[in-house]
Structure 1
Amino acid sequence: MTLQKRATIVSSSVAVTLVVIKLIVGIVSGSVAVLASAIDSGLDLAVSLFNLFAVTNAEKPADEKFNYGRGKIEAIAAVIEGVIITLSGFFIFYQAIQKIMHAEPVTHLDISIGVMVVSLVMTGALVMFLNHVARVTQNMVIKSDALHYKTDLLSNGAILVSLVVIYFTDFYLIDAILGILIAIYIVYSAFELIQEGVLVLLDVSLDDEIVEKIKEVIESEPGVNDYHWLRTRKAGNDYFVDVHLVFTPEMSLLEAHRIGDSVEAKIKEIDPKADWLINIHLDPYDDSDVNLEESKKFAG
């Protein structure tokens, strides 16, 4: 079992535990913040299960139907996760407004505070684990999950603060106020997930820093006179690079091919954790203008 798949199973298990605990205490205590957190944990569970499905399928090798693999499933998962988080934020906002309008008190504060402390500890440990897996694997789904649970960690901390304030001051309105703030933060944090997923689906180029390093590799390679049509994109942990390298007409194909292999090997060293798929076209002269005109004819 891969590390990223193990991470989705762990996050699902934590979500199940938190849903049960928070839902029971939220109903008993009447705390909108605890109930909102229980609902959010329920969505966490759904998302984690979907992430397990996404990771499992994204890891399948390329085949005759999916020639470039299924890495973009991770981007789809990130977009779906972002939308679900946004909807949960809107629901929490609605619940908080209802709390203000009806001014319902919060009861059983002792057990509510205890549950939120347990939730903070469990979520904090999960965030650290997911961050570690995300750094090791560079998996987009795990990055999204880590950000999601980090949002939970912060919101759970805010809920704990509200319960403590109510316990010592009887200022029940703080529960609804923090519920509104949590909702706003959740919706805001979801935007990054959706944006990153959509950009990958639209074949956004690799990070500027990586692209610059690719250019440095090509420009510093002896025997390469020039290059053009450098294009990059990513899907999951797969990094795609297409480029035309320009040589002299007198150079043998064998030598040009050797240089191309050298460039490819050096590009892969930029990020050894990524799975690079590099396509290098060998040009005996700079034919970028000719290729550009041909592409315009094809597009027209």
Structure 2
Amino acid sequence: MQDKHLNLSAGIASVSVATVLVIAKIWALSATGSMSIAASLADSAMDLLVASGGLLAIWYASRPPDEDHTFGHTSAEDLAALGQSIFIFVSGAVIAVTSVRRMLSPTPPEMTSEAIGVGVMILSIVLTIALVLWQKHVARRTQSKVVSADSLHYLGDLVPNIGAIAALLASSAFGFDRLDSVVALGAAAILLVGALNIGKSAWDALMDRAAPQDMVDEIGDMAKHFPGIYAYHDLKTRMAGSKPFVNIHIEVNGDQTLREAHAISAGLKRAILEAYPNAEVIIHKDVAGEAD
């Protein structure tokens, strides 16, 4: 329940910040005519679209299991993260192409009212930093791919926002209008690499890829050294959104009572959940030396 509230808070914060920035940048664009602000406005508009979709995905993924989805709805996070990675990749590609074209253009656009533009971009940076810090805190706690993808996108926005400020100041002081294109290329590279990483992670989860190897190793080590367990086998894991699913067979003394065998498996389950509170754990008991 706490993870649900944290993820929802990050989604609501993302939508709110994107809405404020779209409104502020529309005003700044009308005042300055700056192409760097126009590019930043387009990026913020896409942020709003992606953040709204991400919020819906977080809400849907937090719904409890039902008759049609007995394992829950957490895969919605992976679908949303995959969609976000595509949007982020396209955004990075567009920024890169636009930046190159502007660098090669013989007549870069003139900018006016640079002070208004600088003020709006500073506001954008402050709000973005605050949002990214909160999103990273939430992502560390909940392991949400949607929040991680959204955080990456906003983090990538910091570079072009700083570039826009530098371009406005360079235009005002020196008449140099191409600096923002150079910085924007760096931002595009960050977005493209990050989008590929987020997309791969979401795709792996949708294809039932195993949980991270360190998690698998730790669970195996727990089972190997847990009192009353002679051996374990068929340790299988998969990820759905931020939720790991664990399935393991343990071998116990076949001469003990069912109550005693159950106490051993229940203890192992508690140990796994203590390390991974969000996990779904199923433990099968086999007689030692007679496992299938």
More displaced stretch, 41-50 vs 107-116? 107-116
Which residue, 41, 45, 56 being the options, matches 1:42?
A: 45
Say what the alpha-carbon RMSD is for the aligned residues: 1.9
Q: Give the deviation of 1:250 after TM superposition.
A: 2.6
Amino acid at match of 1:48: A
Which residue, 22, 33, 54 being the options, matches 1:30?
A: 33
Amino acid at match of 2:65: A
Q: Give the deviation of 1:286 after TM superposition.
A: 4.4
User: Is residue 2:79 matched to residue 1:76?
Assistant: yes
Superposed counterparts of 1:257-296, under 5 Å: 257-272=262-277, 274=278, 276-286=279-289, 290=292
Check whether the contact 2:166–2:179 (CA below 8 A) recurs between aligned residues: no
Check whether the contact 2:163–2:180 (CA below 8 A) recurs between aligned residues: no
Give the distance between the partners of 2:78 and 2:9, measured in 1 at CA.
19
Check whether the contact 2:239–2:245 (CA below 8 A) recurs between aligned residues: yes
Give the distance between the partners of 1:267 and 1:175, measured in 2 at CA.
50
More displaced stretch, 210-219 vs 43-52? 210-219
Check whether the contact 2:31–2:116 (CA below 8 A) recurs between aligned residues: no
Give the corresponding residue for 1:294.
Answer: none
User: For residues 97 and 28 of structure 1, do their structure 2 counterparts lie closer, same or farther at Cα, with a shift above 3 Å needed?
Assistant: farther
Q: Give the deviation of 1:116 after TM superposition.
A: 0.8
Unmatched tracts of structure 1, length 5 or more:
291-300
User: Is residue 2:104 matched to residue 1:104?
Assistant: no
How many residues align? The count is: 287
Q: Give the deviation of 1:185 after TM superposition.
A: 2.4
Q: Give the deviation of 1:253 after TM superposition.
A: 2.7
Amino acid at match of 2:112: T
Give the corresponding residue for 1:213.
Answer: 218
Check whether the contact 1:27–1:35 (CA below 8 A) recurs between aligned residues: no
Amino acid at match of 2:26: L
Which residue, 176, 200, 203 being the options, matches 1:198?
A: 203
Check whether the contact 1:247–1:283 (CA below 8 A) recurs between aligned residues: yes
Which residue, 7, 10, 13 being the options, matches 1:10?
A: 13
Amino acid at match of 1:17: V
Secondary structure at the counterpart of residue 224 of structure 1: coil
TM-score by length of 1: 0.88
Amino acid at match of 2:260: E
Which residue, 91, 96, 112 being the options, matches 1:93?
A: 96
Which residue, 233, 243, 246 being the options, matches 2:248?
A: 243
Give the distance between the partners of 1:192 and 1:72, measured in 2 at CA.
18
User: For residues 32 and 181 of structure 1, do their structure 2 counterparts lie closer, same or farther at Cα, with a shift above 3 Å needed?
Assistant: farther
TM-score by length of 2: 0.91
Give the corresponding residue for 1:295.
Answer: none
Give the distance between the partners of 2:290 and 2:142, measured in 1 at CA.
39
Which residue, 186, 197, 203 being the options, matches 2:191?
A: 186
Which residue, 209, 225, 229 being the options, matches 1:224?
A: 229
Check whether the contact 1:32–1:179 (CA below 8 A) recurs between aligned residues: no
Give the distance between the partners of 2:91 and 2:148, measured in 1 at CA.
19
Kindly provide the CA deviation profile for residues 18-55 of structure 1, in whole angstroms up to 9, marking residues without a partner as x: 11221332354332221111111111101111011101
